[in-house]
Structure 1
Amino acid sequence: MSPPAKLSACIITKNEADRIAACLRAINGLVDEIVVVDSGSTDGTTDIARNMGAQVFHNDWVGYGPQKRFSEDCASHDWILNLDADEVVTPELYAEIKALMAQGPDLPAYRFKLRNVYPGKSKPRLWADFHNYVRLYDRRKVRFRESLVHDTVDTKDEPVGQLTGSATHFSARSYAHIRQKLDSYTNLQAKALKKPAWTIWLRLPFEYPFVFLRYFVFRCHFTGGWDGVISSHLAAEARVKRLLKILKAQKSLKAQSE
């Protein structure tokens, strides 16, 4: 059995005054320190975080992966619970992590599910879709990737455990906010993805119906009623926009080279 481990929570923020308190409140007593890395909030996010006991650092936005890595470097302890400001640890996950840290983790990294909540709702829908990410880990063994777009942990073939508890993901304040986030995300993806133009033209007519069907049926958004229809539409719309942005970027590069 490994010795008990100290735990640092690392959270990146920008203008999260309406959500950061719930995130921090849910981990009160679970972690030994809270590190908040802010990239220029103007809404009082940093004041709320400090008043709730967090150490706050400023770092200009450098992309998802690099920003997460900066937060890891700011932590005093090697074991990291890496959260976003819109994620709230459930009591079940709290108890599970608390027990794990007390007995000493046997593995270098652990996944747990982030269950999505529709805008304006207080809890996930029936059969809510989720992401299952590594968010609890030993930074001496694994760390976030440098990717500007994808904020995922590079496990380097290290063994990864699965926690049964989950966190609730209040990803968007409104459907307009979802569209804004997806638009920003597809801008980054369009710069990072390199695909032959002919493959994009082939995919374009089928992208919307395929993605809508995948979200509405196979990811069970039909259980969300009208909210499920809107969410599936926005996901499909974003994928089409991504393809169009890739084509536009390729056309611009071609024009510059001529």
Structure 2
Amino acid sequence: MKLGGYVLHRNNRDTLEPCLRGLLALCDDVVALDSGATDGSAELVRSLGARSVPHAWRGYGAAREAAVNALAPCNYVFFLDSDELLGPEAVETLRAWKTSSPTEAVYRLPRRDWAELGTHRFRYRTQWRARLVRRDKAVWRPEQIVHEALPKLAGGRVRAFIEHRFATSVEYRAQKEDRYALLWALRAHAEQRGLKPVGVQRLASWARDCLLKGALWRGGAEASRLAWAVAGYHATKYAYLRELRQGRYPELVRLYAEGRYDALFARVRDGALS
């Protein structure tokens, strides 16, 4: 059974090496899709023995599609984000899975999101994520510019933990969530998705992460502050969607409709929203 692996990156040299070492320990072919790194990330990729593939950034869906297409023929695809890694036990568990003649369309792995806020490090939450995907089901589309989930598929679980450096700053996380909220809303607007109450979404997200997933018990006040920032995404995306319904951001709507995702990302990154 052949397993292909990939990671998307730009200037991620500080976290990319452990990510790649996990992929290389497991996969028969590893691609690192480079969307314009200037910090030596591409050179690091090649020095470790993975293949560096340059790619002009047009969003996450297009990047994942390009990464899969760049892989050698394989039965399954495994992917990590550039701030994720596999520990030795996870690698051994996945090696065992690889020899088990898997057949499911998708396998989900538990991902532990770690917060590193000053000197305080704690596990924020654990979520099961689809990361092992049969090659014929590993399909992403360019219009999936952010939060590019695969179609919901029945599958199995592999208890191999992915360790994720989720947050090193509450402020930076909040800024990132705001950008992603607008990009999500543009796609949702094009797909004519329905609105949801903004306040309810934020409170529900905070309660889910802090109470149901236990972040508050492990991280205290810092966890609560982080959860409120993360919850801002779930509220803000519907606030943006409401504004789009009211005719706001016509230039961004036009860029999305024309498939000019590179220009769209650039405007959102630079705050040129009008």
TM-score by length of 2: 0.79
How far apart in 2 are the matches of 1:22 and 1:255?
42
- CA deviation after TM superposition for structure 1 residue 168, in Å: 0.6
- CA deviation after TM superposition for structure 1 residue 124, in Å: 5.3
Q: Aligned letter for 1:62?
A: R
Q: Which runs of 5+ in 1 are unaligned?
A: none
1:34-113 alignment to 2 at 5 Å?
34-78=30-74, 79-113=76-110
SS in 1 for 2:116: coil
How far apart in 2 are the matches of 1:196 and 1:38?
32
How far apart in 2 are the matches of 1:196 and 1:105?
36
How far apart in 2 are the matches of 1:254 and 1:234?
24
TM-score by length of 1: 0.83
Q: Where does residue 6 of structure 1 map in the other structure? A: 2
Q: Which runs of 5+ in 2 are unaligned?
A: 252-274
How far apart in 2 are the matches of 1:251 and 1:240?
17
Q: Give deviations 1:95-118, integer Å, cap 9, x for gaps.
A: 121122234323343111111000
Q: Aligned letter for 2:89?
A: E
Evaluate the alpha carbon distance shift between residue 130 and residue 26 of structure 1 in structure 2; reply closer, same or farther with a 3 A threshold: same
Q: Where does residue 212 of structure 1 map in the other structure? A: 206
How far apart in 2 are the matches of 1:24 and 1:196?
37
- CA deviation after TM superposition for structure 1 residue 35, in Å: 0.3
% identity of equivalent residues: 22
* Native 8 Å contact 1:26 1:89 kept in 2: yes
User: Are 2:147 and 1:153 equivalent residues in the alignment?
Assistant: no
1:1-258 alignment to 2 at 5 Å?
5-78=1-74, 79-120=76-117, 125=123, 128-139=124-135, 141-146=136-141, 147-154=144-151, 157=153, 159-194=154-189, 203-223=197-217, 224-252=219-247
Q: Aligned letter for 2:49?
A: G
Evaluate the alpha carbon distance shift between residue 136 and residue 226 of structure 1 in structure 2; reply closer, same or farther with a 3 A threshold: same
* Native 8 Å contact 2:25 2:91 kept in 1: no
* Native 8 Å contact 2:198 2:236 kept in 1: no
How far apart in 1 are the matches of 2:201 and 2:183?
19
